[in-house]
Amino acid sequence: MSYLVLARKWRPKDFSDTVGQEHVLQALMNALETGRLHHAYLFTGTRGVGKTTIARILAKALNCETGVSAEPCGKCSACREIDEGRFVDLIEVDAASKTKVDDTRDLLDNVQYAAARGRYKVYLIDEVHMLSKSSFNALLKTLEEPPEHVKFLLATTDPQKLPATVLSRCLQFNLKRMTPRLIADRLAYICDAEKIDVEPAALALLARAADGSMRDALSLLDQAIAYCGGKIEEKQTATMLGTIDRDHVMRIMHLLASGDARGIIEAIREIDEQFPDYSRLLDDLARDLQRIAVYQVVGSCDSEDEFSEKEIAGLADAMSTEDVQLYYQVAVMGRRDLHLAPDPRSGAEMTLLRMLAFKPAATESTGSAGGGIGSGRTSERTVTPATQAVRASKNEAGDLAPSSTAHRWSDPDWSELVSEMKLGGAVRLLASNCAFLRREGSTVHLGLDPRSESMLTKQRKDAIASALSEHFAEKLVVEIVVGVAKSETPIQQESRMADEKLEEARQALEADPNVQTLKTMFGAELKTDTIELISGEKG
């Protein structure tokens, strides 16, 4: 017997064997069990997520000889013939090859006749968006008032191209892209059933390369079996896919965090010996930078591969939020423009160097380490919450002593204090939404505007405490309570001052002699709600 590819061999035969589309399956199963069946279903989603597979299972459930149910038997002649693609009452059409109106009319000529073998005559039209305007018009009348024995199952990757008149007559289900973890778990199950020896890291590579498509993942698994021979190993799979070893990606991330340009060039030289796909390298960098950014905001991230949350947390501490946002944007733009570079390697190198060259201006200088950009000059880096936390830990050990720049504590103006302290990004925003309440011993109590409660994390609170400790040269602890404070927060104060300046500007315009003259002579009216302060007047 000829070999049957995995994508066909492991195509789900019933709803219980289908993975990743529970929101669609639940709705269809409930409709089948209660008998509330629509005459037209539209399945949308990217390639390889199960549109036609679910449509065929639905056709099987409608025509199973044991009755309409969410669990077709799979053994009767109707079920077997649908699985084998030869059921006379399941008419499958590829709209990409039959776009003409005459093809559609020929298809619908026999729609009024009852099903020959089954309970329903089912029309499964794949890539339905490829039909011409005339074809849609020919289909529309039948779709609007179909005979009771007819069901339409439409599938498309681009529902935006369907006329609104067709969309309004269908029950639409949007199938989701599958996550790398879900794909990897399914591949592991199939490899176990097929008795294929495989490394989990290799499955993670295949799952990411599939880009949300289970069919693509199974095709890549077939390719990996042929390429690797016996055991499917990570290194061989990476070579087959042209992907970069994750150790190299982690190394580049740490080099970016330390600003080591010379180390980055050396890392690219080593990577180039593996004949890599540099667009995938930039994709991996952007994906990991996004996870770092999420960790910096919420304190956790979704760890779906061998990059553990602990590693992400370390990089989140080593990079400022501003740097992470910049690096992500540069990686995405570099990936887009890679084809414009003289060669992929130089394009990737320039993208990485651009990240360091456009690094935000810093608040403190350090010596150039590791051959950073511009050898022999000082490189500047932003003081991050992580750096402040390290300083706080040193303070606990008694390393923090009063200096010539230390400030003495008195009832502070919190707005001025926030602007004087070395805060940035989300930490500064949190501090600006707090109001000073009181100080008790070494504890500073702040009140947080309830509307900004989602910004409060332990990491940010500790960063504010570290900045206060450094500013006053003494160990201070911060406690933040959510609630309305008697005093204003810096942001509230800024808003109030802006409103006051705007009101002054309105009154000045109202009293202006020229404005009064225009009102008197021409009946002009001053639109006070359109008055705005220019940036230099906002305080």
Q: Which of helix, strand or coil describes residue 146?
A: coil
d(CA 393, CA 389) in angstroms, rounded, equals 6
Decide the pairing of beta strands 121-126 and 90-94. parallel
Mean local confidence (pLDDT), 12-23 = 89
Question: Which residues does 252 contact at the CB level (< 8 Å), separation at least 6?
Answer: 264, 267, 285, 352
Q: Which helix (H) or strand (E) holds 204?
A: helix 200-209
d(CA 319, CA 437) in angstroms, rounded, equals 32
Segment among 71-75, 135-139, 233-237, 525-529 with least mean pLDDT: 525-529
Residue 66 has pLDDT above 50, yes or no: yes
Mean confidence (pLDDT) of the chain: 82
| Contact between residue 319 and residue 384 where contact means Cβ atoms under 8 Å apart | yes
DSSP states along 467-531: HHHHHHTS--EEEEEES--SSPPHHHHHHHHHHHHHHHHHHHHHH-HHHHHHHHHH-----GGG-
The two most distant CA atoms of the chain are separated, in Å, by: 98
Look at the alpha carbons of 46, 47, 51, 57 in this order and tell me if their dihedral is positive or negative. Answer: negative
Nearest to 204 by CA among 242, 257, 246, 169: 246
Measure Cα distances from 485 to 247, 436, 453 in Å: 49, 8, 14
Nearest to 129 by CA among 159, 104, 172, 170: 159
Segment among 93-107, 260-274, 453-467 with least mean pLDDT: 93-107
Residue with tokens 């049957």: 4
Residue 147 has pLDDT above 60, yes or no: yes
Mean local confidence (pLDDT), 242-257 = 82
Segment among 263-272, 336-345, 359-368, 469-478 with least mean pLDDT: 359-368
**Residues paired with 381 in a beta bridge:** 364
**Residues paired with 172 in a beta bridge:** 42
Nearest to 154 by CA among 40, 61, 58: 40
Decide the pairing of beta strands 90-94 and 40-44. unpaired
Residue 11 has pLDDT above 80, yes or no: yes
Mean local confidence (pLDDT), 412-420 = 84
pLDDT tens digits for 269-315? Answer: 988 887 778 888 898 899 889 989 988 888 777 655 555 677 888 88
d(CA 221, CA 5) in angstroms, rounded, equals 10
Residue 395 has pLDDT above 50, yes or no: no
Predicted confidence at residue 108, as pLDDT, reads 82
Predicted confidence at residue 330, as pLDDT, reads 94
Share of the chain above pLDDT 90, in %: 29
d(CA 402, CA 473) in angstroms, rounded, equals 5
d(CA 119, CA 322) in angstroms, rounded, equals 62
Decide the pairing of beta strands 443-448 and 434-440. antiparallel
Question: Which residues does 126 contact at the CB level (< 8 Å), separation at least 6?
Answer: 51, 52, 92, 93, 94, 95, 96, 155
d(CA 251, CA 244) in angstroms, rounded, equals 11
**Cα 184–210–29 angle (5° rounding)?**
70
pLDDT tens digits for 448-471? Answer: 888 888 888 888 888 899 888 888
The tokens for 339 are 């084809």
Residue 94 has pLDDT above 60, yes or no: yes
Predicted confidence at residue 345, as pLDDT, reads 92
Residue 350 has pLDDT above 90, yes or no: yes
Look at the alpha carbons of 151, 154, 159, 161 in this order and tell me if their dihedral is positive or negative. Answer: negative
Predicted confidence at residue 286, as pLDDT, reads 92
Nearest to 448 by CA among 425, 424, 478, 423: 478
The 10 Å Cβ neighbour count of residue 241 is 20
Task: Encode 435-472: b = buried (16+ Cβ within 10 Å), e = exposed.
Answer: bbbeeeeeebbbbbbeebeebebebbbbbbbbbbbbbb
Predicted confidence at residue 120, as pLDDT, reads 92
Mean local confidence (pLDDT), 388-416 = 54
Predicted confidence at residue 305, as pLDDT, reads 52
Residue 375 has pLDDT above 60, yes or no: no
**Cα 511–512–518 angle (5° rounding)?**
110
Mean local confidence (pLDDT), 102-117 = 83
Q: How far is CA 230 from the centre of its chain?
A: 36
Mean local confidence (pLDDT), 375-397 = 43
Residue 402 has pLDDT above 50, yes or no: no
Mean local confidence (pLDDT), 324-333 = 93
DSSP states along 417-429: HHHHS---HHHHH
pLDDT tens digits for 161-188? Answer: 999 999 999 999 999 988 888 999 999 9
Question: Which residues does 508 contact at the CB level (< 8 Å), separation at least 6?
Answer: none
Residues comprising the chain, all counted: 539
Nearest to 28 by CA among 61, 76, 67, 52: 61
